[in-house]
Structures are given as structure tokens and as C-alpha cells.
């Protein structure tokens, strides 16, 4: 039966990519082995990561939505019709005429799965790059049997049930005549070999789970949600098969001052009304250090000033983005008598202090509108 990967993340089928990402982050944050030492939490973390991998890959999600399991090589899974689990019309004919046995046993050694682990980074780490040590809990090669699965000094033997073919056949008579069908050998699981004395450390799997620390180089300019691929650092396959890849997904923590949009950074500064009117030089702390920002006389609230090449590096091109400074002009809410007097004098000099005439004009306008409605 296929795993309900939507249910693992607490979502309904058809959930959006944003909902999948948000649910995974929440669960991974609570279940990660570095945070939650409970063994059940570790298994749950692996289930959640596997579900996230299935639902963020378009092809795997298509298989899930069709009711299959993208990690299952059997019928209905990733090896569904036309895949590894069911070859199509040829396999049907083989089942009737006995040709399936020609496929032979399958190898005990299979490739391992990819692994996915989140890592949280500060804004300056994603902008300038960093070297990060992360703890990974995956399957690694068993150092006792080096993947063979057998106890020291012993070897695998030919399966007596299928004589090493990996399949067993049965013959039935029906209205079409004699029908020969083949199925995977239940004793050796199709490998053609059995292990009389399994390795005591890995129980015959050829791999064991291990926690290790890996140093990851985070390139400058990575963004939230991007994945860094580490080839060969994923799960070692059964029978000591080649390891899959490890994907490190970047989660950028919110910054108290700057917000990011692509390679550009944004921040807000508040200026007194007088500084905006007269102009000033503002000392601004950026990710690169302190910078002097010239505020021109007459700067209006809502103006955007640009500090070029003070944003994040471009990953696929040269240069950096910009730092966009959004200006907010602050109007004083409380004035003492002297300050109010000076502002009134300034307003008079600029011809802006005409409250009586304004009131008269407004009164005259309102009177005319009232008279018009009253038919006068």
C-alpha cells in the first residue's frame, strides 16, 4: 500500500507548494535529531523528509497523486507501467509462456536514496557565503562486513528454493491450456542467494545508520529555499550499494533591519522633518560596514535611495545587487511654545499660514453648495 505522503505532512491532497514547504519546516524544526533526542522523533523526521522529497519533485508528486509510491520499485510505484516493476506487454506474454525466468536473479546491491536536510542561515551568511558544519543521520557502509551482509569468515550461498534463479515458477491448467507463471522467490527475495549467518552489526543489510558531521561550503548569493547538492553523501544502498546524494536546503532567517528580494536588499530609515527639508548625511550600517548616505534637501517621505553594489552577489552572473533605502519623514507630534512660534513664522514666510482665509473660502464654497441643493 502506498504511503500517504500528504498525510505525513498533515496536508490534504492537492496542497500548494507553499503549504508543503511551510508544513515541512514546522515539522522538521520540531523533529530534527539535534533538537529532539527521542528515537521516535528521529524516525518521524525521516518520514517527514521523505514525504517532502516526494511532494517537491514534480515527477514523484505525479506518481503520488496517481496513488503510487515514487520510492517503491513495484507495480504502481516509481517503477509502474513501463518502469522497473512492470515491463508492459512483454511481461504479460512471459507470464503465459514461461519466458520470465530468463531475466535471472536481481542483485542484492542497489543504489541508495537521496537525503534532504534543512540548514538555517543568517542573512550575511547567505549573502557572503560561509562554511557550515551540519550533522547528518543516514545509512553508511557497514565496516564489519563492508556491505556483504555476511558474518566474518562466512559467505552467501545459492538459494535452494529457486536454485539461484531468483524466481520460482508454477504451472496451472486453464481454458487457454497450460499457463506458466513466475514470481519472485520468497526465500531469497529474488537475489538467488541466502545468507546463512548474517553480519551481527548490520543484520545482513550491508549498511548501518550513523550520525556524522559534514562541512558544507555555502556559496555567496544563495537564497531561501535553494538546495546545495553533495554528491555521494546520501543513503548507502542495500548490500553496500552506491550512496545517493545529500541535498542541503537553505532556510534564511529573517533579519531585523534588512529584507531581501532576489539580489537586492531593502531597509527603512526615518528622518526628522528638518533633516529632510535641509538635507543631511546619514551614517548607515550595511552588511559591508558603515556607509555615508547623502540626503538631498527637500527629500520627500517615500523616496527610495540606492546604494549600488551593496546587495547580494548574483549566482549566475558577475556583480552584486543594490541596497534600496526607503525614506520616511517624521512629522513632530508635540511642540513647545518656541518651536511652534518658529514653525508659524516659517509658514508665514512661505505663505502657508492662512487659516482664516482658508476657512472663509471653505465656508463660502460650502454655502454655495448648500444653497444649490436648497434651490436658492
User: Is residue 184 classed exposed, middle or buried when 0-12, 13-18 and 19+ CB atoms within 10 A define those classes?
Assistant: middle
| DSSP-assigned states of every residue in 231-250 | TT-SPPBGGGBPP--EEEEE
> Is residue 234 a contact partner of residue 201, using CB atoms and an 8 Å limit?
no
**Helices 58-65 and 39-56 sit at what angle, rounded to 10 degrees?**
100
User: Is residue 280 classed exposed, middle or buried when 0-12, 13-18 and 19+ CB atoms within 10 A define those classes?
Assistant: middle
Report the alpha-carbon distance of residue 48 to residue 27 in Å, rounded.
7
Report the alpha-carbon distance of residue 232 to residue 234 in Å, rounded.
6
> Is residue 199 a contact partner of residue 207, using CB atoms and an 8 Å limit?
no
267 is in an annotated binding site: no
162 is in an annotated binding site: yes
Partners of 290 in the beta sheet? 285
Partners of 294 in the beta sheet? 281
Residue 71: closest CA among 140, 141, 2: 2
Q: Pick out the residues of the known binding site for Zn(2+).
A: 142, 145, 159, 162, 185, 188, 199, 202
Q: Pick out the residues of the known binding site.
A: 142, 145, 159, 162, 185, 188, 199, 202
Amino acid at each position: 500500500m502506498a504511503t500517504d505522503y500528504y498525510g505525513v505532512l498533515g496536508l490534504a491532497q492537492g496542497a500548494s507548494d507553499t503549504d508543503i514547504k511551510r508544513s515541512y519546516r514546522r515539522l522538521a524544526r520540531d523533529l530534527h535529531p539535534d533538537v529532539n533526542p527521542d528515537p521516535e522523533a528521529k524516525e518521524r523526521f525521516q518520514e517527514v523528509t521523505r514525504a517532502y522529497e516526494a511532494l517537491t519533485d514534480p515527477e514523484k508528486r505525479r506518481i503520488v497523486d496517481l496513488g503510487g509510491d515514487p520510492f517503491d520499485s513495484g507495480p504502481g510505484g516509481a517503477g509502474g507501467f513501463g518502469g522497473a516493476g512492470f515491463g508492459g506487454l512483454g511481461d504479460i506474454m512471459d507470464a503465459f509462456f514461461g519466458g520470465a525466468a530468463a531475466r535471472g536473479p536481481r542483485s542484492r546491491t542497489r543504489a541508495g536514496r537521496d537525503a534532504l536536510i534543512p540548514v538555517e542561515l543568517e542573512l550575511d551568511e547567505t549573502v557572503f557565503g560561509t562554511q557550515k558544519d551540519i550533522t547528518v543521520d543516514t545509512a553508511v557502509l557497514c565496516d564489519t562486513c563492508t556491505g556483504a551482509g555476511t558474518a566474518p569468515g562466512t559467505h552467501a550461498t545459492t538459494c535452494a528454493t529457486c536454485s539461484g534463479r531468483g524466481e520460482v515458477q508454477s504451472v496451472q491448467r486453464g481454458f487457454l491450456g497450460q499457463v506458466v507463471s513466475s514470481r519472485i522467490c520468497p526465500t531469497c527475495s529474488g537475489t538467488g542467494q541466502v545468507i546463512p549467518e548474517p553480519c551481527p552489526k548490520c543484520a545482513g543489510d550491508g549498511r548501518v545508520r550513523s550520525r556524522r558531521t559534514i562541512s558544507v561550503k555555502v556559496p555567496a548569493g544563495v537564497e531561501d529555499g535553494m538546495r546545495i547538492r553533495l554528491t555521494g553523501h546520501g543513503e548507502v544502498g542495500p548490500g553496500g550499494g552506491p550512496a545517493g546524494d545529500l541535498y542541503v536546503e537553505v532556510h534564511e532567517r529573517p533579519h531585523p533591519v534588512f529584507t531581501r528580494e532576489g539580489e537586492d536588499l531593502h531597509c527603512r530609515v526615518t528622518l526628522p522633518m528638518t533633516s529632510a527639508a535641509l538635507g543631511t548625511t546619514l551614517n548607515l550600517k550595511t552588511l559591508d560596514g558603515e556607509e555615508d548616505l547623502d540626503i538631498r534637501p527637500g527629500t520627500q517621505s517615500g523616496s527610495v535611495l540606492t546604494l549600488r553594489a551593496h546587495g547580494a552577489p548574483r549566482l549566475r552572473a558577475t556583480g552584486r545587487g543594490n541596497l534600496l533605502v526607503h525614506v520616511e519623514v517624521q512629522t513632530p507630534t508635540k511642540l513647545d511654545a518656541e518651536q511652534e512660534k518658529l514653525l508659524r513664522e516659517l509658514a508665514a514666510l512661505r505663505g502657508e499660514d492662512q487659516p482664516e482665509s482658508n476657512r472663509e473660502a471653505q465656508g463660502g464654497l460650502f454655502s454655495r453648495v448648500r444653497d444649490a441643493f436648497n434651490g436658492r
